[in-house]
Chains A and B, each alone.
Chain A
Amino acid sequence: MKHVIVGAGPAGVVAAETIRKLDPSAEVTIIGNEPEPPYSRMAIPYLLIDNIEEEGTYLRKEETHFSDSAINVVVDTVVSVDPGAHSLALGSGKNMEYDKLLIASGSTPISPPIPGIDNPRVTSCWTLDDARKITSGIKPGAPVVLIGAGFIGCIILEALVSAGANLTVVEMGNRMVPRMLDETCGTLLEKWCKEKGVNVMTSSQVEAIEDASDNVRVKISGNREVEAELVISAAGVRANAGFLEGSGVEMSNGAVVIDEYMCSSVADIYAAGDVACGRDFSTGEYSVQAIQPTAVDHGRAAASNMVDHGAVRHQGSVLMNVLDTMGLISASYGQWEGIKGGDTATLVDKDNFRYLQLQFDGDRLIGANTLGMTQHIGVLRGLVQGRFHLGNWKNRLMDNPLLVMEAYLAATQGIQA
C-alpha cells in the first residue's frame, strides 16, 4: 500500500508515524515544501527570543528518525491532484502515484487587501525563513508595526519587544485576540501590553503602507500614521489547498470537507490539521480549528482510516488554545463564548490581571477563558470533554469558579456536594 502525505507539519508527521506503526510494510512518503526537516511553527516564538536554536523547532530530534522509520521525506510542491489516476503532479515536474492520499498541507498567512502590503519591508511570521527575516530586521529602537493582535501576533510580541522594537500593534477587533478571548479578557490583555510600553490600537485598520525615505509610512484609520522599519503581517491564515482545484474534492471556505473517518468527498483522499474542516467536539459542526492538538488528533485518526477504512470514527476535537503574551498567559476552551440559555460564571482581578470565566449548558461545563492562570488548567478540558453532570458542584462553581479542580475530583470520585 502506497501512502502519500502532503505536508510535513505535525498532522502529516504524526500520520506518517501512525501508518508505519499500523502497517510495517506500507510505503510512506511525506511531501513538504520547505527545505528544513519537519519543524513546529509553535516553537518559532521561542526561537525568536533565542531560547532555542533552529534545531529546537524540529518535530523529531533524531537526525535519522524518518529514515529509521522508513518514511520518505521529499521536498517538493504539489501542483495538482488527479483522483482518477491516483496521481499527483509535482512542482519538480515529476508525478507521484498513491493508493491513499492525506492532505495535511496546513495553512498560509493571508495577505490583507492593503495597498503596499507587497512592500519588501512587510513580512509574515509563519516559517523559519520568516523568523530569520524578523530577527535580522529588528535593531534596538527600530519602529515596528504589527498588523493583527491575534494568536500569532500576540505570541511573538515578547520577542519583538525584547529585540528592542518600538512596537505598534494594529488590530481590527475591539480587543486583543478577539477569536480566543472574551471582551473582559482581551481588554485586560490590552492593558497589560500597554503597561509594558506597546502601542496597541484596537478597532483600527492599516489603510496603506507607503515608501518613505529609509523606511515605510503606515497609514492607520482615524488619520493616524506611524513610520516603521519593519511591518509584520499577522492578519490570519487560510487553508493551503489551491492545488486541489479541479480535483473534485469538496471544499468549504477553502478547506477540505471531511467526514467522521477523516475522508474527503473523494475516495482515498483524506485530510487532517489546518487544511481540514473537521468535526468540533462541542458543537458537532465542522470547522477549521487550526490548532496543534487538533492537527495531531486528526493525523492519528486519518492514518488509522487510511490503513483500515472505518477503523476510527473521529468524535471531534475540543477547541483549545493557550497563549503567552509578554508573560501573561491566557487560555480558551470549547464554547468559551457561551450558549443561549447557558450560565456564565466569572471571577475578575483586574489589578493582578487574573480572570476566569466558565460557560455552562445546564450543569455541564462547555467552555472557559482564563487569564493569568498556569496551574491545573488542563482539567478544564477534562470537564468539557467528560461532559460531566456537575449537579450541585455547578452551583459551587457559579459562586467560586476557582474550584474547577475540586469539581472535577468530585465528579470522578463521587464526592457529593
Chain B
Amino acid sequence: MLRSLNIDPEKCTGCLQCEMACSYENEGVFNPAKSRIKVFTFHDEGRFVPYTCTQCDEAWCLHACPVEAIKMNRETGAMEVSDSVCVGCKVCTIACPFGTVNYNQDTGKVVKCDLCGGDPKCATACPTDAITYVDANATGLDKMRAWAAKTDNAASA
C-alpha cells in the first residue's frame, strides 16, 4: 500500500527534531541546514510549518530532468534522485514549483526527500505527530495534492 507523509502544521511546536533526523539519516551529520524537510517559522502568527516534497503526481522535477536522473520508486511512490546519473544541471530545482528540490554545491548534485526509502525518519522523530507516515488515501495526501492542484489550476485559468 502506498503511504505518504502527512503534515499537520497545527501540531508542530518548532522543535526541529525532524530536521535533525533527516540530516543525520541522509548526510550523516546533525545539521538542520542539510535537512530535506524544513520547518518554516511565522513569528508574528506563532505558527510553525514543516515542509518537504509531496511526491506530487505532476512530478515536475522528473519531467524537467534532461538525463533521466529522477525516477519514481514504485514501492514508495517517491521521486528519487540517482546521484550517479545526476549531472548537477539544476533544471529540476527551478522547475519544482514547491521549491523542494535543492542543489548541493558540495556534491554537485541535487537533493530531495525520498521518504528514506519507505521509513521516513522525520515522521519517526516527530514527538507531536505533526509529521506522520500514513496510508496515501488518508486526508493528508489529498490536502497536499490540493496545493499542487491549486498551482496547476491557476496555471490553466
A-side residues, CB < 8 A to B, are: 10, 14, 40, 42-43, 45-46, 51-52, 56-61, 281, 292-293, 296, 300, 313, 315, 320-322, 324, 327, 329, 331, 333, 374-382, 385-388, 404-406, 408-410, 412-413, 415-417
B150 touches A320 (CB 8 A): no
Decide yes or no whether B87 CB sits under 8 A from chain A: yes
Range class of the B interface residue count = 35 or more
Chain B 38-63 near chain A by CB (<8 Å), digits 1 or 0: 10101011010101000000000001
Q: Which of A300, A378, A415 contacts B98 (CB 8 A)?
A: A378
Chain B 20-53 near chain A by CB (<8 Å), digits 1 or 0: 0000000000000000001010101101010100
Q: Which of A42, A377, A405 contacts B89 (CB 8 A)?
A: A42
B91-128 with Cβ < 8 A to chain A: 91, 93-105, 108
Decide yes or no whether B14 CB sits under 8 A from chain A: no
Decide yes or no whether B67 CB sits under 8 A from chain A: yes
Nearest 9 pairs of A and B residues by beta carbon: A379-B99, A382-B97, A376-B99, A40-B66, A378-B96, A46-B87, A374-B103, A378-B99, A42-B66
**How distant is the Cα of A231 from the Cα of B68 in the complex, in angstroms?**
32
B98 touches A10 (CB 8 A): no
Decide yes or no whether B1 CB sits under 8 A from chain A: no
- Can you report 7 residue pairs joining A to B where beta carbons are below 8 Å apart? A296-B63, A320-B95, A377-B94, A385-B154, A405-B40, A410-B42, A413-B9
Question: Residues of A contacting B94 with CB < 8 Å?
Answer: 293, 320-322, 331, 333, 377-378, 380-381
Q: Which of A58, A313, A381 contacts B95 (CB 8 A)?
A: A381
A281 touches B95 (CB 8 A): no
The answer to whether residues A374 and B102 also contact, given A56-B67, A293-B95, A379-B97 and a CB cut-off of 8 A, is yes
Q: How far does the Cβ of B103 sit from chain A's closest Cβ, in whole Å?
A: 4
B68 touches A385 (CB 8 A): no
A386 touches B97 (CB 8 A): yes
A40 touches B67 (CB 8 A): yes
B87 touches A385 (CB 8 A): no
Question: Residues of B contacting A415 with CB < 8 Å?
Answer: 42, 45, 47, 49
Decide yes or no whether B11 CB sits under 8 A from chain A: no
B155 touches A385 (CB 8 A): yes
Question: Residues of A contacting B104 with CB < 8 Å?
Answer: 374
**How distant is the Cα of A14 from the Cα of B64 in the complex, in angstroms?**
11
Question: Residues of A contacting B68 with CB < 8 Å?
Answer: 59-61
Q: Give the residue name and chain of the A residue nearest to B96 (CB).
A: A378
Question: Residues of B contacting A324 with CB < 8 Å?
Answer: 88, 90
Q: Give the residue name and chain of the A residue nearest to B155 (CB).
A: A385
Question: Residues of B contacting A381 with CB < 8 Å?
Answer: 94-97
A322 touches B93 (CB 8 A): yes
**How distant is the Cα of A320 from the Cα of B60 in the complex, in angstroms?**
13
A43 touches B49 (CB 8 A): no
Q: Which of B44, B67, B99 contacts A59 (CB 8 A)?
A: B67
